[in-house]
């Protein structure tokens, strides 16, 4: 059984505090996620000083400042943090991951030996960036918030042409509103991505709660990414649309249960655990009342009751109209030797 990859997205929820970043790793490890993921960028390389915050960022931060640049500048992770957090993650038995938002950050993460690259939704149309990522020839996970299917196809072509084989590319259905309204999730689009693009697929979730990522796994997602925080009330752009530690644990546990539930062979047949119940739960034919030898048996002379150790009620027609070879008692099991 192929295990679903669960990425606990710490993102920028460290709020520029190294000790908070470590506590996020603790929470992701305790929840038994596969990866804890941060974000690697230099604000000067990804946003102009005149760029405004998104509406959800203005609402979630509420600091009276609409500058996206100043917001991101406060959330940069120093290079040394990466080295330290990688070692700390190892000590907590969870794999460290980070999304690089610019080419220099991709080079830095590559030098750190990060397993694979995660391309965020906002970079899906950034051809120079895509080409740079693909030139590393590592596995890629691509989020597709705000994208059309045709845009995703074009991005895949860019990645392939720049050096990454298609089999190394995984696609995540995603919506970039924080939090995403349930009506806008459009989870069936994940299956369109899978069917039409023939790629490994999954879901990056920004809804409130844990229901949607669990449903995505039930629909076949092999990768789940979900934001989490220590406290939804902390200041910052993503906290409010993130899970708290107990919710993250519940999500991981539920996903592992769903994995098991859908791992069968797809054939409708008794499972090993229920075979023992067949004779207890099913019914068999019994005589409804006392009958004497020589009497002709009618349908009304039978009753179907437990246990199921005798003749199945499905075979009742084979015994209607037969003559008794011996006397029988009420509620006794019907046997072939009772009939002439």
Question: Does residue 236 sit in the same domain as residue 307?
Answer: no
Tokens at 59, concatenated: 């609402």
- Domain with residue 214: its CATH number is 3.20.20.70
C-alpha 295, offset from chain centre:
64
Q: Above 80 in pLDDT, residue 262?
A: yes
98: nearest Cα among 70, 84, 75, 77: 77
In the predicted model, is pLDDT for residue 156 greater than 90?
yes
Omega into 179 within 30° of 0, i.e. cis? yes
CA distances from 288 to 83, 316, 331, 332 (A): 79, 13, 6, 8
Q: Provide the pLDDT confidence category of residue 62 given band limits of 50, 70 and 90.
A: low
**Residue that has been written with the tokens 């791992």 in this structure:** 263
Q: Quick check: is 257 in a domain?
A: yes
What's the predicted TM-score (pTM) here?
0.89
Domain boundary among 206, 231, 261: 261
pLDDT at site 113: 97
What is the C-alpha separation between 279 and 275, in angstroms, rounded? 8
Burial zone of 85 (CB within 10 Å; 0-12 exposed, 13-18 middle, 19+ buried): buried
Residue 70 and residue 44 share a domain: yes
Q: Clarify whether residues 180 and 287 are in a common domain.
A: no
Which of 205, 234, 261 terminates a domain? The answer is 261
Q: Is the C-alpha dihedral spanning 162, 164, 165, 170 positive or negative?
A: negative
- Predicted local distance difference test score (pLDDT) of residue 63: 63
Question: Is 266 inside any structural domain?
Answer: no
**Spatial distance between the Cα atoms of 1 and 259, rounded to a whole number of angstroms:** 8
Distance CA 125, CA 147 (A): 9
The answer to whether residues 192 and 316 belong to one domain is no
pLDDT digits (tens, 9 = 90+) for 199-251: 999 999 999 999 999 999 999 999 999 999 999 999 888 899 999 999 999 99
Does a structural domain hold residue 269? no
**Which tokens belong to 210?**
């844990």
Give a yes or no: residue 72 inside a domain. Answer: yes
CB of 142 closer than 8 Å to CB of 155: yes
Q: Can you point out the beta strands (E) in the chain?
A: 5-11, 35-40, 95-100, 117-119, 140-143, 169-174, 200-205, 223-227, 284-287, 302-305
Q: Is the pLDDT of residue 66 over 70?
A: no
Indicate whether 55 belongs to any domain. Answer: yes
In this structure, are 164 and 284 located in the same domain?
no
Structure tokens at 51: 């760029």
Closest to 38 in 3D by CA, of 72, 85, 88, 74? 85
Average pLDDT over residues 49-60: 73
Residue 10 lies in a domain: yes
Q: Which of 3-12, 64-73, 275-284 has the lowest mean pLDDT?
A: 64-73
Instruction: Judge if 31 and 128 occupy the same domain.
Output: yes
Q: What is the pLDDT of residue 70?
A: 84
pLDDT at 37: 98
Residues 238 and 139 in one domain: yes
Predicted confidence at residue 58, as pLDDT, reads 66
Query: Can you tell me the distance from the alpha carbon of 20 to that of 22, in angstroms, rounded to the nearest whole number?
Result: 5
Q: Which two tokens stand for residue 180?
A: 């995403």
Residues 251 and 283 in one domain: no
**Could you tell me the CATH number of the domain that includes residue 307?**
3.90.1210.10
> Within this chain, do residues 221 and 279 fall inside the same structural domain, yes or no?
no
What angle, 0 to 180 degrees and rounded to 10, lies between the N-to-C axes of helices 149-161 and 188-197? 40
For residue 268, being part of any structural domain is answered with no
Indicate the average pLDDT of the chain: 95
CB 261 within 8 A of CB 254: no
User: Is pLDDT at 41 greater than 90 in this prediction?
Assistant: yes
Q: What is the pLDDT of residue 327?
A: 97
- Per-residue CA distances from 145 to 93, 119, 134, 232 (Å): 30, 11, 20, 23
Per-residue pLDDT, 68: 82
Q: Looking at residue 30, what is its pLDDT?
A: 98
Q: Return the axis-axis angle of helices 149-161 and 127-134, rounded to nearest 10°.
A: 50
Full DSSP string of 213-245: HHHHHHTT-SEEEEEB-S-TTSSSSSGGGSB-H
In this prediction, residue 64 carries a pLDDT of 58
* 253 and 307 fall within a common domain: no
193 plus 307 within the same structural domain: no
Q: What is the pLDDT of residue 231?
A: 97
Q: What is the mean pLDDT of residues 54-79?
A: 77
Q: Please give the Cα distance from 206 to 67 (Å, whole number).
A: 23
44 pLDDT higher than 80: yes
Is 226 in the same domain as 282? no
Instruction: Determine the structural domain holding residue 298 and report its residue range.
Output: 275-338
Q: Model confidence at 311, in pLDDT bands (50, 70, 90)? A: very high
User: Of 216, 233, 261, at which residue does a domain stop?
Assistant: 261
Q: Is the dihedral of CA 300, 301, 307, 311 positive or negative?
A: negative
226, 231, 237, 240 alpha-carbon torsion, rounded to 10°: 70
Q: What is the tally of structural domains in the chain?
A: 2
Residue 60 in this model has a pLDDT that exceeds 70? no
Residue 267 lies in a domain: no
The pLDDT value given to residue 236: 84
Selected residue with higher pLDDT from 123 and 236: 123
Q: Which two tokens stand for residue 313?
A: 């009620």
């Amino acid at each position: 059984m192929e295990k679903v990859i669960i990425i606990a997205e710490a993102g920028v929820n460290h709020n520029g505090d190294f000790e908070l970043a470590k506590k996020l790793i603790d929470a992701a490890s305790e929840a038994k996620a596969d990866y804890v993921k941060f974000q690697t960028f230099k604000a000067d390389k990804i946003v102009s000083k005149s760029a405004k915050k998104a509406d959800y960022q203005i609402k979630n931060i509420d600091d009276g400042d609409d500058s996206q640049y100043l917001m991101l500048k406060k959330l940069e992770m120093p290079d040394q943090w990466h080295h330290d957090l990688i070692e700390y993650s190892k000590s907590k038995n969870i794999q460290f991951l980070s999304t690089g938002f610019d080419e220099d950050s991709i080079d830095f993460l590559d030098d750190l030996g990060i397993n694979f690259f995660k391309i965020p939704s906002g970079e899906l149309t950034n051809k120079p960036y895509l080409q740079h990522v693909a030139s590393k020839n590592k596995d890629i996970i691509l989020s597709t918030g705000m994208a059309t299917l045709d845009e995703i196809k074009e991005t895949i072509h860019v990645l392939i042409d720049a050096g990454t084989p298609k089999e190394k590319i995984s696609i995540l259905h995603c919506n970039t509103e924080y939090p995403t309204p349930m009506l806008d999730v459009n989870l069936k689009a994940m299956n369109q991505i899978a069917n039409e693009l023939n790629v490994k697929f999954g879901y990056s979730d920004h809804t409130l709660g844990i229901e949607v990522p669990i449903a995505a796994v039930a629909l076949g997602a092999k990768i789940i990414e979900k934001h989490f925080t220590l406290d939804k009330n902390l200041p910052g752009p993503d906290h409010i649309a993130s899970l708290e530690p107990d919710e993250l644990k519940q999500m991981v546990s539920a996903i592992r249960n769903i994995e098991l539930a859908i791992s069968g062979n797809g054939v409708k047949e008794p499972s090993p655990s229920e075979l023992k119940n067949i004779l207890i739960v099913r019914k068999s034919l019994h005589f409804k009342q006392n009958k004497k030898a020589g009497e002709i048996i009618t349908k009304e002379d039978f009753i179907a009751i437990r246990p199921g150790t005798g003749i199945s009620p499905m075979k009742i027609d084979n015994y209607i109209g037969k003559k008794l070879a011996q006397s029988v008692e009420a509620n006794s099991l019907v046997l072939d030797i009772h009939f002439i």
